[in-house]
């Protein structure tokens, strides 16, 4: 009984190319009590592997968080399987704006303590007492309300390339960091303002909305289905799109183009750019924004040091990496000190008028 991948990413990529099938990129989540997450994880792998599902799926006692791709011809079979699971019946499936057959190259179903690393003690508050879910039309109306505070619940490298107009974008590296920062900075407006939140697909806002209600915020709203579902709605109903730039995604695509605006800058020269790349030096692999000119000049590397290493024979590079982990810069995502142009670390609420 096969419960894990047997093919490498390279082998899988070759099979995808040979198959020539259109693949759909999807995501969904659900908070639900799962008593035996390991058994549930195995059940999913056995059901999805024959359907050629690929992706990154987290399972925990609190539910499931899934980002995946599936051949278009197998989508209905996947949907039928999801509907056979009581807490996933009719679950909202976010379909990507832009598809890439190589968005995922393995099926990874992992058991985790939580489906999102929020750092919260769920026993201290009612996680089911969530904020009001609003669709794109209601969300646009709330954005125009002078009593609304719009908060981006994503990390700095996500909002740097795209966000909603007039949104507060916390300059944080992780979701858990933003929770207390937002609560502290908005503590004087728990009753007189609308706290409206959004994220990529909705999962972070789901937990955050319950947390902020527990902290005393009276009017808490969250964008149903996140940015992905919002874009689908505004296109279908021909509404005004208030999102500018790109939507960061956590797969090989790295982003989806939502509007033509380029609001970020190359981390090396400062020119307008919004394409995230990983440093070509495998010992670094830093995620940062690089323009086309710098890609050519720096040979897809983040620094002259990495460029020198990357020019060495592959065997020599491999020997240099023996016994070494990735550089700590890999976790800085555009904030490494050697990058000459970095996002201004201004106070995240400086533009908010009380």
Q: Is the dihedral of CA 299, 305, 311, 315 positive or negative?
A: negative
Helix (H, G, I), strand (E, B) or coil at 74: helix
Question: Within a domain: residue 117?
Answer: no
Taking only the tens place, the pLDDT of each residue in 293-351 is 999 999 999 999 999 999 999 988 888 888 777 666 777 888 888 898 865 544 444 44
DSSP 241-310: P-EEEEEE-SSTT-EEE-SS----B-TTT--B---EEE-S-TTT--EEE--HHHHHHTTT-SSHHHHHHH
Please tell me the total number of residues recorded for the chain in this structure. 354
Residue 322: inside a domain, yes or no? yes
Rounded Cα distance, 48 and 163, in Å: 34
Residue 161 placed within a domain: yes
In a domain, 127, yes or no: yes
C-beta of residue 201 within 8 angstroms of C-beta of residue 27: yes
Mean pLDDT of 142-148: 96
CATH of the domain at 97: 3.30.70.100
Distance from C-alpha of 79 to C-alpha of 227, rounded to nearest angstrom: 22
Question: What is the pairing mode between strands 54-60 and 107-111?
Answer: parallel
Q: What is the pLDDT of residues 169-219, one digit of tens each?
A: 999 989 999 999 999 999 999 999 999 999 999 999 999 999 999 999 999
Residues 303, 330 contacting (CB under 8 angstroms)? no
Range of the structural domain that residue 160 is part of:
123-236
Average pLDDT, the chain: 92
The confidence band for 5, taking pLDDT boundaries of 50, 70 and 90, is confident
d(CA 108, CA 96): 19
Identify whether residues 99 and 184 lie together within a single domain: no
- For residue 199, indicate whether it is catalytic: yes
Longest dimension (CA), the chain: 62
In a shared domain, residues 95 and 128: no
Q: Say whether pLDDT at 95 is over 90.
A: yes
CA–CA dist 275, 261 (Å, integer): 13
Same domain, residue pair 227 and 314: no
| DSSP 8-class letter at 168 | B
Tell whether the torsion through CA atoms of 17, 21, 27 and 32 is positive or negative: negative
Tell me, yes or no, whether 135 and 104 share the same domain: no
pLDDT score recorded for residue 183? 94
pLDDT single digits (tens) 25-75: 999 999 999 999 999 999 999 999 999 999 999 999 999 999 999 999 999
Closest CA to 173 of 160, 187, 186: 160
Q: Which of 83, 111, 139 is at the close of a domain?
A: 111
User: For residue 253, is it within any domain?
Assistant: no
Is 258 contained in some domain? Answer: no
Do 58 and 159 reside in the same domain of the chain? no
**Same-domain check for residues 107 and 128:** no
pLDDT given at position 290: 97
- Report the number of distinct structural domains present in the chain: 3
What are the tens digits of pLDDT across the range 19-29?
989 999 999 99
Q: Read off the pLDDT of residues 212-271 as tens digits, 9 standing for 90 and up.
A: 999 999 999 999 999 999 999 999 999 999 999 999 999 989 999 999 999 999 999 999
Instruction: Tell whether 304 and 331 lie within a shared domain.
Output: yes
Within a domain: 251: no
The answer to whether residue 259 sits within a structural domain is: no
Whether residue 179 contacts residue 211, with contact meaning beta carbons closer than 8 Å, is answered with yes
Q: Do 135 and 106 fall into the same domain?
A: no
Query: Measured between alpha carbons, how far is 8 from 213 in angstroms, rounded to an integer?
Result: 45
CATH number of the domain that residue 176 is part of: 3.40.250.10
Partners of residue 168 on adjacent β-strands: 151
Tell whether 203 and 295 lie within a shared domain.
no
Q: Are residues 195 and 294 in the same domain?
A: no
Residue 354 has a pLDDT of: 39
Query: Are 93 and 135 within one domain?
Result: no
- pTM for the whole thing? 0.88
Q: What is the mean pLDDT of residues 135-153?
A: 97
- Are 56 and 136 in the same domain? no
């Amino acid at each position: 009984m096969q419960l894990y991948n047997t093919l490498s990413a390279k082998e899988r990529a070759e099979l995808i190319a040979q198959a020539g099938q259109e693949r759909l990129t999807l995501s969904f989540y659900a908070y639900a009590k799962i008593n035996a997450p390991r058994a549930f994880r195995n059940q999913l792998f056995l059901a999805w592997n024959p359907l050629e599902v690929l992706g990154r799926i987290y399972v925990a006692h609190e539910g499931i968080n899934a980002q995946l791709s599936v051949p278009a011809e197998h989508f209905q079979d996947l949907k039928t399987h999801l509907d056979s699971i009581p807490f996933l019946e009719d679950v909202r499936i976010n379909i990507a704006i832009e598809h890439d057959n190589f968005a995922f190259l393995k099926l990874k179903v992992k058991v985790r303590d939580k489906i999102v690393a929020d750092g919260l003690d769920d026993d201290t508050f009612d996680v089911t007492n969530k904020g009001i879910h609003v669709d794109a039309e209601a969300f646009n109306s709330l954005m125009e309300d002078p009593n609304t505070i719009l908060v981006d619940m994503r990390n700095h490298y996500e909002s740097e390339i795209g966000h909603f107009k007039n949104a507060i974008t916390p300059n944080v590296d992780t979701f858990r960091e933003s929770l207390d920062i937002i609560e502290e900075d908005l503590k004087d407006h728990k009753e007189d303002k609308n706290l409206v939140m959004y994220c990529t697909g909705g999962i972070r806002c789901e937990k955050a909305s319950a947390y902020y209600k527990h902290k005393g915020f009276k009017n808490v709203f969250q964008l149903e289905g996140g940015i992905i579902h919002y874009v689908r709605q505004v296109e279908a109903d021909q509404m005004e799109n208030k999102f500018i730039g790109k939507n960061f995604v956590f797969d090989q695509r790295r982003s989806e183009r939502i509007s033509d605006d380029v609001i970020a800058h190359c981390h090396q020269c400062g020119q307008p750019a919004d394409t995230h790349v990983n440093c070509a030096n495998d010992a670094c692999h830093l995620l940062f924004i690089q323009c086309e000119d710098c890609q050519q000049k720096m040979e897809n590397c983040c620094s002259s040091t990495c460029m020198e290493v990357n020019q060495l024979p592959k065997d020599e590079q491999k020997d240099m990496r023996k016994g070494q982990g990735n550089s700590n810069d890999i976790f800085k995502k555009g904030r490494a000190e050697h990058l000459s142009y970095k996002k201004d670390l201004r106070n995240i609420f400086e533009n908010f008028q009380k």
